[in-house]
Structure 1
Amino acid sequence: MSENSAIPKISALAITYNEEENVKRYIESLSFVDEILFIDSYSSDRTVSLAREMNIKVIERAFTNFSDQRNFAISQAKNDWILFFDLDEVITKDLEKEILATVNNPKSKVAFFVKRHFYFMGKRIHFGGWQNDKAIRLFNKNYCQYNGNLVHEEVKANGNVSVLKNGVNHFSYKNFDNYNDKLNLYSKLQAENLYLKKVKPNVYHLIFRPLYRFLWQYIFRLGILDGKEGFILAYVHSFSVFKRYLQLWMLYRKIE
Protein backbone atom coordinates (compact mmCIF):
# COMPACT_ATOMS: atom_id res chain seq x y z
CA MET A 1 0.00 0.00 0.00
CA SER A 2 0.97 3.63 -0.41
CA GLU A 3 3.82 5.01 1.67
CA ASN A 4 3.78 8.50 0.16
CA SER A 5 3.25 10.81 3.14
CA ALA A 6 3.01 13.90 0.91
CA ILE A 7 -0.43 12.86 -0.33
CA PRO A 8 -3.43 12.70 2.04
CA LYS A 9 -4.13 9.13 3.08
CA ILE A 10 -6.95 7.20 1.41
CA SER A 11 -9.16 4.40 2.72
CA ALA A 12 -10.65 2.05 0.11
CA LEU A 13 -13.89 0.50 1.34
CA ALA A 14 -16.06 -2.25 -0.12
CA ILE A 15 -19.16 -4.15 0.88
CA THR A 16 -18.85 -7.76 -0.19
CA TYR A 17 -20.79 -10.96 -0.59
CA ASN A 18 -19.48 -13.96 -2.54
CA GLU A 19 -16.93 -12.02 -4.59
CA GLU A 20 -14.06 -14.52 -4.56
CA GLU A 21 -13.39 -14.20 -8.30
CA ASN A 22 -12.86 -10.43 -7.97
CA VAL A 23 -10.98 -10.16 -4.66
CA LYS A 24 -7.39 -10.48 -5.92
CA ARG A 25 -7.86 -8.12 -8.87
CA TYR A 26 -9.60 -5.53 -6.72
CA ILE A 27 -6.95 -5.53 -3.99
CA GLU A 28 -4.05 -5.43 -6.44
CA SER A 29 -5.62 -2.46 -8.26
CA LEU A 30 -5.61 -0.51 -4.98
CA SER A 31 -1.91 -0.76 -4.16
CA PHE A 32 -1.79 3.06 -4.05
CA VAL A 33 -4.15 3.46 -1.05
CA ASP A 34 -3.29 3.36 2.65
CA GLU A 35 -6.11 1.16 3.94
CA ILE A 36 -8.44 -1.43 2.42
CA LEU A 37 -11.46 -2.55 4.42
CA PHE A 38 -14.14 -5.09 3.51
CA ILE A 39 -17.54 -5.20 5.19
CA ASP A 40 -18.68 -8.71 4.34
CA SER A 41 -22.23 -10.06 4.65
CA TYR A 42 -21.12 -13.56 5.68
CA SER A 43 -20.00 -14.80 2.27
CA SER A 44 -20.34 -18.53 1.67
CA ASP A 45 -17.37 -18.65 -0.72
CA ARG A 46 -13.68 -17.75 -0.20
CA THR A 47 -14.12 -13.95 -0.25
CA VAL A 48 -13.14 -13.48 3.39
CA SER A 49 -10.28 -15.99 3.47
CA LEU A 50 -8.74 -14.63 0.26
CA ALA A 51 -8.90 -11.06 1.57
CA ARG A 52 -7.33 -12.00 4.88
CA GLU A 53 -4.59 -13.96 3.11
CA MET A 54 -3.71 -10.67 1.41
CA ASN A 55 -3.65 -8.89 4.80
CA ILE A 56 -6.91 -7.02 4.26
CA LYS A 57 -9.07 -6.19 7.26
CA VAL A 58 -12.52 -7.79 7.03
CA ILE A 59 -15.47 -7.06 9.30
CA GLU A 60 -18.33 -9.53 9.00
CA ARG A 61 -21.71 -7.89 9.46
CA ALA A 62 -25.24 -8.96 8.59
CA PHE A 63 -26.65 -7.16 5.56
CA THR A 64 -29.65 -4.93 6.17
CA ASN A 65 -29.54 -2.54 3.23
CA PHE A 66 -26.93 -0.88 1.04
CA SER A 67 -26.91 2.58 2.66
CA ASP A 68 -26.62 1.17 6.16
CA GLN A 69 -23.79 -1.16 5.18
CA ARG A 70 -21.87 1.57 3.37
CA ASN A 71 -22.31 4.13 6.15
CA PHE A 72 -21.07 1.56 8.66
CA ALA A 73 -17.98 1.03 6.50
CA ILE A 74 -17.32 4.77 6.46
CA SER A 75 -17.54 4.86 10.25
CA GLN A 76 -14.77 2.23 10.43
CA ALA A 77 -12.37 3.99 8.03
CA LYS A 78 -9.16 5.42 9.45
CA ASN A 79 -8.72 8.17 6.87
CA ASP A 80 -10.78 11.14 5.69
CA TRP A 81 -10.57 10.45 1.96
CA ILE A 82 -12.69 7.48 0.93
CA LEU A 83 -12.69 5.36 -2.22
CA PHE A 84 -15.84 3.25 -2.44
CA PHE A 85 -15.71 1.06 -5.54
CA ASP A 86 -17.53 -2.23 -5.99
CA LEU A 87 -15.43 -5.33 -6.53
CA ASP A 88 -16.73 -5.69 -10.09
CA GLU A 89 -15.35 -2.24 -11.00
CA VAL A 90 -11.81 -2.20 -12.42
CA ILE A 91 -9.62 0.82 -11.66
CA THR A 92 -7.30 1.79 -14.50
CA LYS A 93 -3.82 3.28 -14.07
CA ASP A 94 -5.02 6.59 -15.52
CA LEU A 95 -7.82 6.72 -12.96
CA GLU A 96 -5.36 5.86 -10.18
CA LYS A 97 -3.13 8.80 -11.16
CA GLU A 98 -6.11 11.15 -11.31
CA ILE A 99 -7.35 10.03 -7.89
CA LEU A 100 -3.97 10.70 -6.29
CA ALA A 101 -3.70 14.11 -7.96
CA THR A 102 -7.24 14.96 -6.89
CA VAL A 103 -6.89 14.18 -3.18
CA ASN A 104 -3.62 16.11 -3.18
CA ASN A 105 -5.43 19.16 -4.58
CA PRO A 106 -9.23 18.79 -4.34
CA LYS A 107 -9.83 22.48 -5.15
CA SER A 108 -12.57 22.94 -2.52
CA LYS A 109 -14.45 19.84 -3.73
CA VAL A 110 -15.61 17.24 -1.21
CA ALA A 111 -16.78 14.49 -3.58
CA PHE A 112 -16.16 13.27 -7.12
CA PHE A 113 -18.24 11.30 -9.58
CA VAL A 114 -16.54 8.55 -11.57
CA LYS A 115 -17.96 7.58 -14.96
CA ARG A 116 -18.66 3.87 -15.36
CA HIS A 117 -18.19 1.86 -18.56
CA PHE A 118 -20.72 -0.96 -18.33
CA TYR A 119 -20.03 -4.44 -19.74
CA PHE A 120 -22.82 -6.99 -20.22
CA MET A 121 -22.38 -10.52 -21.57
CA GLY A 122 -18.81 -9.62 -22.50
CA LYS A 123 -19.79 -6.54 -24.51
CA ARG A 124 -19.28 -2.85 -23.75
CA ILE A 125 -22.72 -1.23 -23.59
CA HIS A 126 -22.81 2.24 -25.10
CA PHE A 127 -26.52 3.10 -24.96
CA GLY A 128 -29.72 2.34 -23.04
CA GLY A 129 -28.93 4.97 -20.40
CA TRP A 130 -25.53 3.53 -19.53
CA GLN A 131 -23.80 6.18 -21.64
CA ASN A 132 -24.40 8.62 -18.77
CA ASP A 133 -23.73 6.20 -15.91
CA LYS A 134 -21.67 7.66 -13.09
CA ALA A 135 -21.52 7.47 -9.31
CA ILE A 136 -19.66 9.23 -6.52
CA ARG A 137 -16.75 6.94 -5.72
CA LEU A 138 -14.25 9.37 -4.15
CA PHE A 139 -15.21 11.65 -1.26
CA ASN A 140 -14.18 13.21 2.04
CA LYS A 141 -16.07 11.42 4.82
CA ASN A 142 -16.29 14.59 6.92
CA TYR A 143 -18.75 16.04 4.39
CA CYS A 144 -20.46 12.97 2.95
CA GLN A 145 -22.66 10.01 3.80
CA TYR A 146 -25.07 7.73 1.97
CA ASN A 147 -28.62 9.00 1.72
CA GLY A 148 -30.43 6.15 3.48
CA ASN A 149 -32.00 4.53 0.40
CA LEU A 150 -32.27 0.79 0.87
CA VAL A 151 -31.01 0.27 -2.69
CA HIS A 152 -29.57 2.50 -5.44
CA GLU A 153 -28.06 4.46 -2.60
CA GLU A 154 -26.28 7.72 -3.36
CA VAL A 155 -23.72 9.83 -1.57
CA LYS A 156 -25.18 12.99 -0.07
CA ALA A 157 -22.43 15.61 -0.11
CA ASN A 158 -22.39 18.75 2.00
CA GLY A 159 -20.18 20.74 -0.35
CA ASN A 160 -19.05 21.10 -3.94
CA VAL A 161 -18.95 18.04 -6.20
CA SER A 162 -17.06 17.45 -9.45
CA VAL A 163 -16.51 14.68 -12.03
CA LEU A 164 -13.22 12.89 -12.68
CA LYS A 165 -12.09 12.68 -16.30
CA ASN A 166 -11.16 9.00 -16.25
CA GLY A 167 -13.73 6.26 -15.86
CA VAL A 168 -13.91 2.79 -14.33
CA ASN A 169 -14.75 -0.42 -16.19
CA HIS A 170 -17.84 -2.02 -14.64
CA PHE A 171 -18.17 -5.80 -15.09
CA SER A 172 -21.49 -6.32 -13.33
CA TYR A 173 -22.40 -9.41 -15.38
CA LYS A 174 -20.98 -12.72 -14.08
CA ASN A 175 -23.65 -14.99 -15.56
CA PHE A 176 -27.35 -14.60 -16.26
CA ASP A 177 -28.55 -16.21 -13.03
CA ASN A 178 -26.23 -14.02 -10.97
CA TYR A 179 -27.35 -10.85 -12.78
CA ASN A 180 -30.98 -11.82 -12.37
CA ASP A 181 -30.41 -12.47 -8.65
CA LYS A 182 -29.04 -8.93 -8.32
CA LEU A 183 -32.11 -7.48 -9.98
CA ASN A 184 -34.35 -9.58 -7.72
CA LEU A 185 -32.59 -8.17 -4.65
CA TYR A 186 -32.87 -4.62 -5.98
CA SER A 187 -36.59 -5.10 -6.70
CA LYS A 188 -37.19 -6.42 -3.19
CA LEU A 189 -35.36 -3.54 -1.51
CA GLN A 190 -37.02 -0.95 -3.76
CA ALA A 191 -40.42 -2.41 -2.86
CA GLU A 192 -39.56 -2.14 0.84
CA ASN A 193 -38.45 1.46 0.30
CA LEU A 194 -41.75 2.32 -1.41
CA TYR A 195 -43.68 0.55 1.34
CA LEU A 196 -41.99 2.73 3.96
CA LYS A 197 -43.03 5.77 1.91
CA LYS A 198 -46.63 4.44 1.87
CA VAL A 199 -46.76 4.19 -1.93
CA LYS A 200 -49.66 1.94 -2.94
CA PRO A 201 -49.36 0.05 -6.24
CA ASN A 202 -52.08 0.06 -8.87
CA VAL A 203 -52.61 -0.99 -12.49
CA TYR A 204 -50.45 1.90 -13.69
CA HIS A 205 -47.47 0.64 -11.69
CA LEU A 206 -47.90 -3.01 -12.70
CA ILE A 207 -48.51 -2.48 -16.43
CA PHE A 208 -47.44 0.93 -17.65
CA ARG A 209 -44.33 1.51 -15.53
CA PRO A 210 -42.61 -1.68 -16.82
CA LEU A 211 -43.66 -0.86 -20.39
CA TYR A 212 -42.32 2.67 -20.10
CA ARG A 213 -39.02 1.35 -18.69
CA PHE A 214 -38.59 -0.90 -21.73
CA LEU A 215 -39.40 1.87 -24.20
CA TRP A 216 -37.22 4.40 -22.36
CA GLN A 217 -34.22 2.08 -22.29
CA TYR A 218 -34.55 0.37 -25.67
CA ILE A 219 -35.98 3.17 -27.83
CA PHE A 220 -35.59 6.60 -26.23
CA ARG A 221 -32.09 5.90 -24.83
CA LEU A 222 -31.09 4.00 -27.99
CA GLY A 223 -30.53 0.59 -26.39
CA ILE A 224 -31.53 -0.85 -29.76
CA LEU A 225 -28.08 0.17 -31.03
CA ASP A 226 -26.44 -2.27 -28.60
CA GLY A 227 -27.92 -5.22 -30.51
CA LYS A 228 -29.29 -8.30 -28.80
CA GLU A 229 -27.54 -7.36 -25.55
CA GLY A 230 -29.41 -4.05 -25.57
CA PHE A 231 -32.73 -5.86 -26.02
CA ILE A 232 -32.00 -8.36 -23.23
CA LEU A 233 -31.01 -5.56 -20.86
CA ALA A 234 -34.16 -3.56 -21.61
CA TYR A 235 -36.33 -6.65 -21.14
CA VAL A 236 -34.85 -7.85 -17.84
CA HIS A 237 -34.82 -4.35 -16.37
CA SER A 238 -38.43 -3.69 -17.37
CA PHE A 239 -39.41 -7.02 -15.81
CA SER A 240 -37.51 -5.96 -12.70
CA VAL A 241 -39.77 -2.90 -12.49
CA PHE A 242 -42.81 -5.19 -12.68
CA LYS A 243 -41.38 -7.35 -9.86
CA ARG A 244 -40.77 -4.25 -7.75
CA TYR A 245 -44.45 -3.30 -7.76
CA LEU A 246 -45.61 -6.91 -7.51
CA GLN A 247 -43.54 -7.30 -4.35
CA LEU A 248 -44.91 -4.00 -3.06
CA TRP A 249 -48.46 -5.29 -3.68
CA MET A 250 -47.54 -8.48 -1.80
CA LEU A 251 -46.18 -6.48 1.15
CA TYR A 252 -49.53 -4.72 1.57
CA ARG A 253 -51.32 -8.06 1.49
CA LYS A 254 -48.83 -9.81 3.80
CA ILE A 255 -48.07 -12.41 1.12
CA GLU A 256 -44.66 -14.06 1.05
Structure 2
Amino acid sequence: MAREPLSVVVITYNNGGTLDACLRGVTWAEEIVVLDSGSTDDTVAIAERYGARVSVHPFDEFGPQKQRAYDLATHDWILNLDADETLSAGTREVIEQALVAPRYAGFRLPRRELLFWKVQHRWGRRNGLLRLFDRRRGRMNHVEVHSAVEVDGPVKTLWRADFINHGDVDIATRMNKINSYTTRMVAHKLRKGQRFTGLRMVFYPPWFFLRQYLGKRYFLDGWAGFVASMTGAFYVFLKYAKLHEAQRKVGPDKGMRSR
Protein backbone atom coordinates (compact mmCIF):
# COMPACT_ATOMS: atom_id res chain seq x y z
CA MET A 1 0.00 0.00 0.00
CA ALA A 2 1.33 3.43 -0.96
CA ARG A 3 2.03 5.98 1.73
CA GLU A 4 0.69 9.52 1.90
CA PRO A 5 2.79 12.06 -0.06
CA LEU A 6 4.90 14.31 2.14
CA SER A 7 5.89 17.98 2.14
CA VAL A 8 8.99 18.90 4.15
CA VAL A 9 8.69 22.50 5.38
CA VAL A 10 11.60 24.64 6.61
CA ILE A 11 11.79 28.34 7.47
CA THR A 12 15.18 29.98 7.04
CA TYR A 13 17.26 33.07 7.61
CA ASN A 14 21.01 32.98 6.92
CA ASN A 15 21.21 29.23 7.52
CA GLY A 16 23.83 28.51 4.90
CA GLY A 17 25.97 26.67 7.42
CA THR A 18 23.36 24.05 8.31
CA LEU A 19 20.72 23.92 5.57
CA ASP A 20 22.67 21.61 3.26
CA ALA A 21 22.78 18.82 5.87
CA CYS A 22 19.11 19.39 6.73
CA LEU A 23 17.84 19.07 3.16
CA ARG A 24 20.23 16.29 2.16
CA GLY A 25 18.38 13.95 4.49
CA VAL A 26 14.88 14.64 3.11
CA THR A 27 15.35 14.47 -0.66
CA TRP A 28 13.11 11.39 -0.67
CA ALA A 29 10.04 13.51 0.17
CA GLU A 30 7.71 14.51 -2.64
CA GLU A 31 8.16 18.20 -1.91
CA ILE A 32 10.48 20.55 -0.02
CA VAL A 33 9.12 23.98 0.85
CA VAL A 34 11.48 26.69 2.14
CA LEU A 35 10.14 30.03 3.37
CA ASP A 36 13.04 32.46 3.71
CA SER A 37 13.08 35.76 5.60
CA GLY A 38 15.50 37.59 3.32
CA SER A 39 18.79 35.75 3.77
CA THR A 40 21.98 37.50 2.67
CA ASP A 41 24.12 34.35 2.55
CA ASP A 42 23.80 31.28 0.28
CA THR A 43 20.71 29.87 2.02
CA VAL A 44 18.39 30.34 -0.96
CA ALA A 45 20.96 28.93 -3.41
CA ILE A 46 21.31 25.79 -1.27
CA ALA A 47 17.53 25.35 -1.09
CA GLU A 48 17.19 25.70 -4.85
CA ARG A 49 19.99 23.18 -5.38
CA TYR A 50 17.82 20.61 -3.61
CA GLY A 51 14.81 21.45 -5.75
CA ALA A 52 12.94 23.24 -2.99
CA ARG A 53 10.08 25.61 -3.72
CA VAL A 54 11.43 28.82 -2.22
CA SER A 55 9.32 31.80 -1.16
CA VAL A 56 10.34 34.92 0.73
CA HIS A 57 8.40 36.74 3.45
CA PRO A 58 9.71 39.15 6.11
CA PHE A 59 9.89 37.53 9.54
CA ASP A 60 7.55 38.84 12.22
CA GLU A 61 7.03 36.04 14.74
CA PHE A 62 7.91 32.36 14.77
CA GLY A 63 4.36 31.01 14.87
CA PRO A 64 2.90 33.07 12.01
CA GLN A 65 5.98 32.45 9.84
CA LYS A 66 5.71 28.69 10.34
CA GLN A 67 2.01 28.77 9.48
CA ARG A 68 2.73 30.70 6.28
CA ALA A 69 5.20 28.01 5.30
CA TYR A 70 2.67 25.23 6.00
CA ASP A 71 0.11 27.03 3.86
CA LEU A 72 2.55 26.96 0.93
CA ALA A 73 2.75 23.15 0.94
CA THR A 74 0.76 21.21 -1.65
CA HIS A 75 0.47 17.93 0.28
CA ASP A 76 -1.65 17.27 3.36
CA TRP A 77 1.07 15.62 5.42
CA ILE A 78 3.87 17.89 6.59
CA LEU A 79 7.24 17.18 8.16
CA ASN A 80 8.38 20.32 9.95
CA LEU A 81 12.13 20.74 10.43
CA ASP A 82 14.23 23.69 11.53
CA ALA A 83 17.13 24.60 9.27
CA ASP A 84 19.64 23.35 11.86
CA GLU A 85 18.01 19.92 12.28
CA THR A 86 18.73 16.59 10.57
CA LEU A 87 16.97 13.23 10.54
CA SER A 88 18.86 10.38 12.18
CA ALA A 89 19.65 7.19 10.29
CA GLY A 90 16.57 4.96 10.01
CA THR A 91 14.06 7.75 10.63
CA ARG A 92 13.00 7.92 6.99
CA GLU A 93 11.82 4.30 7.05
CA VAL A 94 9.84 4.83 10.27
CA ILE A 95 8.14 7.94 8.86
CA GLU A 96 7.26 6.26 5.59
CA GLN A 97 5.71 3.31 7.41
CA ALA A 98 3.71 5.68 9.65
CA LEU A 99 2.25 7.39 6.57
CA VAL A 100 0.76 4.19 5.17
CA ALA A 101 -2.97 4.63 5.88
CA PRO A 102 -2.28 6.75 9.00
CA ARG A 103 -4.86 6.57 11.80
CA TYR A 104 -3.45 9.55 13.68
CA ALA A 105 -3.65 13.32 13.19
CA GLY A 106 0.07 13.63 13.85
CA PHE A 107 3.24 11.97 15.09
CA ARG A 108 5.83 13.10 17.60
CA LEU A 109 9.49 12.60 16.73
CA PRO A 110 12.00 12.34 19.60
CA ARG A 111 14.64 15.09 19.48
CA ARG A 112 18.29 14.62 20.37
CA GLU A 113 20.34 17.73 21.10
CA LEU A 114 23.81 18.75 20.05
CA LEU A 115 25.32 19.48 23.46
CA PHE A 116 28.02 21.90 22.30
CA TRP A 117 30.67 19.40 21.17
CA LYS A 118 28.76 16.09 21.15
CA VAL A 119 25.32 14.76 20.26
CA GLN A 120 23.09 13.65 23.12
CA HIS A 121 23.49 9.98 24.00
CA ARG A 122 20.87 7.67 22.49
CA TRP A 123 20.08 6.35 25.96
CA GLY A 124 19.32 9.85 27.20
CA ARG A 125 15.72 10.84 27.68
CA ARG A 126 14.45 12.51 24.53
CA ASN A 127 11.55 14.92 24.18
CA GLY A 128 8.93 13.92 21.63
CA LEU A 129 7.90 16.89 19.48
CA LEU A 130 4.94 17.05 17.10
CA ARG A 131 6.74 17.46 13.78
CA LEU A 132 4.82 15.16 11.42
CA PHE A 133 1.15 16.06 11.04
CA ASP A 134 -1.91 16.32 8.81
CA ARG A 135 -2.27 20.02 8.13
CA ARG A 136 -6.00 19.61 7.56
CA ARG A 137 -6.23 18.90 11.28
CA GLY A 138 -3.48 21.12 12.67
CA ARG A 139 -2.28 24.72 12.95
CA MET A 140 0.27 26.71 14.90
CA ASN A 141 -1.05 27.90 18.24
CA HIS A 142 -0.89 31.53 19.37
CA VAL A 143 1.61 31.15 22.20
CA GLU A 144 4.06 34.05 21.94
CA VAL A 145 7.15 32.12 23.07
CA HIS A 146 7.82 28.51 22.02
CA SER A 147 4.71 28.34 19.81
CA ALA A 148 3.98 24.90 18.36
CA VAL A 149 1.58 22.92 16.19
CA GLU A 150 -1.66 21.71 17.72
CA VAL A 151 -3.80 19.07 16.02
CA ASP A 152 -7.37 17.94 16.33
CA GLY A 153 -7.09 14.21 16.87
CA PRO A 154 -4.89 11.48 18.34
CA VAL A 155 -1.09 11.76 18.27
CA LYS A 156 1.48 8.97 18.47
CA THR A 157 5.20 9.12 19.30
CA LEU A 158 7.51 7.32 16.89
CA TRP A 159 10.14 6.21 19.41
CA ARG A 160 12.18 4.31 16.82
CA ALA A 161 12.74 7.55 14.92
CA ASP A 162 14.49 10.72 15.97
CA PHE A 163 16.11 13.88 14.71
CA ILE A 164 19.10 15.92 15.87
CA ASN A 165 19.04 19.63 16.67
CA HIS A 166 22.41 21.20 15.87
CA GLY A 167 21.55 24.65 17.23
CA ASP A 168 23.84 24.91 20.26
CA VAL A 169 27.21 24.62 18.55
CA ASP A 170 29.03 26.25 21.47
CA ILE A 171 28.39 27.78 24.88
CA ALA A 172 28.42 31.35 23.54
CA THR A 173 25.62 30.52 21.08
CA ARG A 174 23.60 28.94 23.87
CA MET A 175 24.03 31.94 26.14
CA ASN A 176 22.96 34.34 23.37
CA LYS A 177 19.79 32.30 22.90
CA ILE A 178 19.13 32.28 26.63
CA ASN A 179 19.41 36.05 26.77
CA SER A 180 17.06 36.48 23.82
CA TYR A 181 14.49 33.90 24.96
CA THR A 182 14.32 35.17 28.53
CA THR A 183 13.77 38.75 27.38
CA ARG A 184 10.88 37.64 25.17
CA MET A 185 9.50 35.43 27.93
CA VAL A 186 9.49 38.34 30.41
CA ALA A 187 7.56 40.54 27.97
CA HIS A 188 5.01 37.73 27.63
CA LYS A 189 4.72 37.29 31.41
CA LEU A 190 4.29 41.03 31.94
CA ARG A 191 1.45 41.14 29.44
CA LYS A 192 -0.22 38.25 31.27
CA GLY A 193 0.18 40.07 34.58
CA GLN A 194 2.31 37.37 36.17
CA ARG A 195 3.92 38.38 39.46
CA PHE A 196 7.54 37.70 40.34
CA THR A 197 7.93 34.81 42.79
CA GLY A 198 11.23 34.80 44.63
CA LEU A 199 10.88 31.18 45.73
CA ARG A 200 10.83 30.03 42.12
CA MET A 201 14.00 31.97 41.37
CA VAL A 202 15.71 30.34 44.35
CA PHE A 203 14.51 26.75 44.18
CA TYR A 204 13.53 26.07 40.55
CA PRO A 205 17.04 26.38 38.99
CA PRO A 206 18.64 23.63 41.14
CA TRP A 207 15.58 21.43 40.58
CA PHE A 208 15.83 22.04 36.83
CA PHE A 209 19.52 21.09 36.90
CA LEU A 210 18.72 17.76 38.58
CA ARG A 211 15.85 17.14 36.19
CA GLN A 212 18.19 17.60 33.22
CA TYR A 213 21.34 15.95 34.58
CA LEU A 214 19.64 12.94 36.20
CA GLY A 215 16.10 12.88 34.82
CA LYS A 216 17.10 13.33 31.18
CA ARG A 217 20.31 11.36 31.78
CA TYR A 218 22.63 14.13 30.64
CA PHE A 219 25.21 12.52 32.91
CA LEU A 220 25.72 10.03 30.06
CA ASP A 221 27.18 12.91 28.03
CA GLY A 222 30.07 13.72 30.36
CA TRP A 223 31.07 17.35 30.79
CA ALA A 224 28.90 18.38 27.83
CA GLY A 225 25.85 17.12 29.71
CA PHE A 226 26.92 18.86 32.90
CA VAL A 227 27.41 22.20 31.13
CA ALA A 228 24.08 21.82 29.30
CA SER A 229 22.31 21.16 32.60
CA MET A 230 23.96 24.16 34.23
CA THR A 231 23.08 26.52 31.39
CA GLY A 232 19.52 25.21 31.48
CA ALA A 233 19.33 26.02 35.18
CA PHE A 234 20.68 29.48 34.44
CA TYR A 235 17.94 29.95 31.83
CA VAL A 236 15.14 29.39 34.34
CA PHE A 237 16.93 31.55 36.91
CA LEU A 238 17.39 34.39 34.44
CA LYS A 239 13.77 34.58 33.32
CA TYR A 240 12.60 35.11 36.91
CA ALA A 241 15.46 37.51 37.67
CA LYS A 242 14.53 39.57 34.61
CA LEU A 243 10.86 39.47 35.58
CA HIS A 244 11.77 40.82 39.03
CA GLU A 245 13.90 43.56 37.45
CA ALA A 246 11.15 44.53 35.01
CA GLN A 247 8.52 44.75 37.71
CA ARG A 248 10.75 46.92 39.89
CA LYS A 249 11.06 49.31 36.96
CA VAL A 250 7.33 49.57 36.27
CA GLY A 251 6.43 49.66 39.97
CA PRO A 252 3.97 47.63 42.04
CA ASP A 253 0.90 49.63 41.00
CA LYS A 254 0.59 48.41 37.41
CA GLY A 255 -2.01 45.81 38.08
CA MET A 256 0.22 42.75 38.47
CA ARG A 257 -1.83 39.90 39.76
CA SER A 258 -0.72 36.59 41.24
CA ARG A 259 -0.77 33.44 39.26
Q: TM-score range by the shorter chain?
A: 0.7 to 0.9
Q: 1:218 to 1:95 in 2, by over 3 A?
A: closer
SS in 2 for 1:138: strand
Deviation string, structure 1 residues 133-159 (Cα, Å, up to 9, x no partner): 121111000111222222333321210
For 1:225 and 1:241, how far apart are their aligned partners in 2?
22
Which stretches in structure 1 are left out of the alignment for 5+ residues? none
Question: Over aligned residue pairs, what C-alpha RMSD do you find?
Answer: 2.7
For 1:65, which of 51, 61, 64 is the aligned residue?
A: 61
Map of 2:101 onto structure 1 = 105
What's the TM-score, normalizing by structure 1? Answer: 0.84
The amino acid across from 2:142 in the alignment is: G
Q: 1:68 to 1:250 in 2, by over 3 A?
A: farther
| Residues 8, 79 of structure 2: 8 Å contact kept | yes
Map of 2:173 onto structure 1 = 178
SS in 2 for 1:58: strand
Map of 1:153 onto structure 2 = 147
Shift of 1:81: 0.4
Deviates more, 1:35-44 or 1:12-21: 35-44
| Residues 66, 149 of structure 1: 8 Å contact kept | no
For 2:153 and 2:89, how far apart are their aligned partners in 1?
28
What pairs up with 1:195-214 in 2 under 5 angstroms? Answer: 195-214=190-209
Corresponding position: 1:142 with 2:136: yes
For 2:35 and 2:237, how far apart are their aligned partners in 1?
31
Shift of 1:130: 5.5
Map of 1:168 onto structure 2 = 163
Map of 2:10 onto structure 1 = 14
Deviates more, 1:213-222 or 1:143-152: 213-222
The amino acid across from 1:172 in the alignment is: G
SS in 1 for 2:139: strand
SS in 1 for 2:90: helix
For 1:78, which of 61, 74, 80 is the aligned residue?
A: 74
Deviation string, structure 1 residues 89-142 (Cα, Å, up to 9, x no partner): 222452112222222221x21100111222313323249x96131211110001
Identity level (%): 26
Shift of 1:220: 4.9
Map of 2:210 onto structure 1 = 215
| Residues 149, 193 of structure 1: 8 Å contact kept | no
Map of 1:124 onto structure 2 = 119
SS in 2 for 1:180: helix
For 1:130 and 1:196, how far apart are their aligned partners in 2?
36
For 1:94 and 1:184, how far apart are their aligned partners in 2?
35
Map of 1:52 onto structure 2 = 48
For 1:248 and 1:48, how far apart are their aligned partners in 2?
38
Q: 1:104 to 1:73 in 2, by over 3 A?
A: same
